[in-house]
Chains A and B, each alone.
Chain A
Amino acid sequence: SAVISQKPSRDICQRGTSLTIQCQVDSQVTMMFWYRQQPGQSLTLIATANQGSEATYESGFVIDKFPISRPNLTFSTLTVSNMSPEDSSIYLCSVRGQGLGEAFFGQGTRLTVV
């Protein structure tokens, strides 16, 4: 199993500002995943972050809006840039277990943009 710590757990931000979310895993993993869960909705994958290479973004998400860093095998950050109220969501970090089976999730970051 993997234990994932996400920070901050919640934040209220002014529109036009940026927020960086941190994700720390207790073991080395190749791929880390960032999801968005809008209010009352399912999870949507934003991007996949591999150590040592640029993140791979899903359709509808761009690096300028959601820059990601992956400096080592246990840590990643997601920045939500130039925020608007539409960015109010829960953002979740995830890793896959051995053999890319079970996924483990952080507690999430509940972001409110006012």
Chain B
Amino acid sequence: GDSVTQMEGPVTLSEEAFLTINCTYTATGYPSLFWYVQYPGEGLQLLLKATKADDKGSNKGFEATYRKETTSFHLEKGSVQVSDSAVYFCALSVLGNKLVFGAGTILRVKS
């Protein structure tokens, strides 16, 4: 079945450090890929998405590129801030079916 694998956390970085959170997927079809963020005490919000190979999703300084050849959708940010501390979820959806989420990666940014 469809699945998403994320790097385990927590990831602890100093402010202004470079961030990478790895995400790989397995899908029976041709999925759309998403990154969701959950700030402390809040619900999930869409951070960015990509719907076809080589698409780059970007938002708030975060980027992720849909790599079909490596079945990956790694999240990156060049300079993290304390306010980026949250849980990040990679997810996929095939043909508009249900979203399948990864386990989530906790990011902690220290000032």
Q: Which of A45, A99, A104, A105 interacts with B96 by CB under 8 Å?
A: A99
**Chain A residue total in the interface (Cβ 8 A):** 19
Does A15 sit at the interface, judged by CB under 8 A? no
Does A96 sit at the interface, judged by CB under 8 A? yes
CB of B44 within 8 A of CB of A92, answer yes
Kindly state the separation between the CA atoms of A11 and B43 in the bound complex, as whole angstroms. Answer: 16
With both chains docked as a complex, state the minimum distance between the C-beta of B100 and any C-beta of chain A, in angstroms.
8
Kindly state the separation between the CA atoms of A99 and B34 in the bound complex, as whole angstroms. Answer: 15
Contact with B along A90-103 (1 / 0, CB 8 A): 00101010011111
With both chains docked as a complex, state the minimum distance between the C-beta of A56 and any C-beta of chain B, in angstroms.
9
CB of A108 within 8 A of CB of B96, answer no
Name the residue of chain B whose CB is nearest to the CB of A96.
B96
CB of A42 within 8 A of CB of B104, answer yes
CB of B99 within 8 A of CB of A106, answer no
**Chain B residue total in the interface (Cβ 8 A):** 20
Kindly state the separation between the CA atoms of A70 and B96 in the bound complex, as whole angstroms. Answer: 20
Q: Which residues of A contact B (CB under 8 A)?
A: 33, 41-43, 45, 48, 92, 94, 96, 99-108
Known: A48-B98, A104-B46. 16 other contacts (CB 8 A): A41-B104, A42-B101, A43-B44, A45-B98, A92-B44, A100-B93, A100-B96, A100-B97, A101-B51, A102-B46, A103-B36, A103-B44, A103-B46, A103-B93, A103-B99, A105-B44
Q: What are 30 pairs between A and B in contact, CB < 8 Å?
A: A33-B98, A33-B99, A41-B103, A41-B104, A42-B89, A42-B102, A43-B44, A43-B99, A43-B101, A45-B98, A45-B99, A48-B98, A99-B96, A100-B93, A100-B96, A101-B32, A101-B49, A101-B51, A102-B34, A102-B49, A103-B34, A103-B36, A103-B46, A103-B93, A103-B99, A104-B46, A106-B43, A107-B42, A107-B43, A108-B43
Q: Which residues of B contact A (CB under 8 A)?
A: 32, 34, 36, 42-46, 49, 51, 89, 93, 96-99, 101-104
